[in-house]
Amino acid sequence: MPVKRPRHRTVEEALRAREERYRILVEHLPVGVYRTTPDGLIIEANPTLCRMLGIKNPARLINYNVKDFYVKKEDRSKHLIKLAERPQVFTEFELRSADGRRFWVRDHCQAVKSQDGTLLFFDGILVDISEKKRTEKKLEHALQKLQTSNNTLEGLSLTDDLTGLNNRRGFFTLGQQQMKIAKRIRKDVFLLYMDVDELKQTNDAYGHPAGDRLLTTVALILRETLRESDIIARIGGDEFAVLAMRSHRGGEKVLYGRLEEKLRAHNLGSPKRFHFSLSMGIVRFDPRKFSSLEDFLAHADFLMYQQKRSKASSQT
């Protein structure tokens, strides 16, 4: 007759097996995994992180401080401020390895606290995004060169006088070039079309200077939310467009979410007469559907007006 093992031993064995699977998984992940103390002392690190930081022996990495690897020390301070405001932070910054190599990373970090709220550790994952940064830099340089060339040779303004953003001509001039580059390097391109919902009411109630202030505020929020390599334009009246290149799936949701967050923060911190909302349509470029940037823009415009009509219906 088989001997039954105590139930608690079976549970312990299952837990040990699970912990071993987790350990093996972490050790073989192609991204850096770490745990630090609140003041930045590294207490756990997987082999990939050791290689990224130029430390051959994992035992040597323990008790290094993350501050030793930041290229810009202020990046560490900014990181801690963000972590104090929210439990999880996704941010990008540049590091310098022990052998002097500089590289960019995206850090997915979260604060680990005790039941009474005491900060115990920071746990995180580091992803090397150096190639992505090099591609963005090349694209930015190409776009700046193109914009300078067009302004000089054609003598035509590509800039909106009120907001300082690209105007409609600038948007199409730079956008067509960016789409060609994105197609060549196989990056996703998203077109975001926006309309300011409250501009007419603001002009009627407070005058056109107030309406102009609203438009410049929209331009400022777009600049703060988006990257320098993204093409931002006021293409007429209260309508704005953004052509953004993203290298990961779900990029349109991230872009949309960041804009919504910025709008909420603005409205919370501003007098009511300067509150506003945006109707937005966002489209991922598909060469099988859109033969030109005009077609791309028209579809985003259509989606934007669908959202605007939906808002109007819900208010009646």
The domain boundary residue, chosen from 128, 162, 179: 128
φ, ψ for residue 276, nearest 5 deg: -160, 165
Does 194 map to a domain? yes
Q: What is the spatial distance between Cα 249 and Cα 243, in angstroms, rounded to a whole number?
A: 16
pLDDT computed for residue 155 by the predictor = 47
Residues 6 or more apart whose CB falls under 8 angstroms from that of 39 comprise 65
Together in a domain, 154 and 39:
no
The domain boundary residue, chosen from 128, 145, 160: 128
Together in a domain, 293 and 196:
yes
Does 197 map to a domain? yes
φ, ψ for residue 313, nearest 5 deg: -65, -40
Q: What is the spatial distance between Cα 206 and Cα 203, in angstroms, rounded to a whole number?
A: 6
pLDDT computed for residue 294 by the predictor = 83
Measure the CA angle with vertex 79, ends 76 and 81; round to 5°.
115
Residues 6 or more apart whose CB falls under 8 angstroms from that of 307 comprise 279, 280, 281
Q: What is the spatial distance between Cα 32 and Cα 46, in angstroms, rounded to a whole number?
A: 6
Together in a domain, 140 and 283:
yes
Does 2 map to a domain? no
Together in a domain, 207 and 254:
yes
Q: DSSP secondary structure string, 181-198?
A: HHHHHT-EEEEEEEEETT
CATH of the domain at 279: 3.30.70.270
Together in a domain, 245 and 269:
yes
Does 1 map to a domain? no
Residue 256 domain boundaries: 132-315
pLDDT computed for residue 149 by the predictor = 61
Does 270 map to a domain? yes
pLDDT computed for residue 153 by the predictor = 43
CATH of the domain at 115: 3.30.450.20
- pLDDT tens, N- to C-terminus, the chain (316 residues): 555 555 556 766 666 666 666 566 667 678 888 999 988 889 888 888 899 998 877 778 877 888 889 888 777 777 777 776 666 777 888 999 988 899 999 888 888 888 898 889 899 889 998 888 887 777 777 767 766 665 554 445 788 989 999 999 889 888 888 777 767 766 777 888 999 887 888 888 888 888 898 899 999 999 988 888 789 999 988 999 998 876 555 567 777 788 888 888 888 887 877 788 888 888 887 655 656 788 788 888 888 888 888 776 666 5
Together in a domain, 138 and 104:
no
Query: For the chain, how many structural domains are there in total?
Result: 2
Together in a domain, 107 and 40:
yes
The domain boundary residue, chosen from 77, 100, 128: 128
Together in a domain, 249 and 292:
yes
Together in a domain, 146 and 115:
no
For 245: left if phi > 0, alpha if psi spans -120 to 50, otherwise beta; the answer is: beta
Together in a domain, 88 and 155:
no
Together in a domain, 173 and 268:
yes
pLDDT computed for residue 251 by the predictor = 65
Together in a domain, 53 and 182:
no
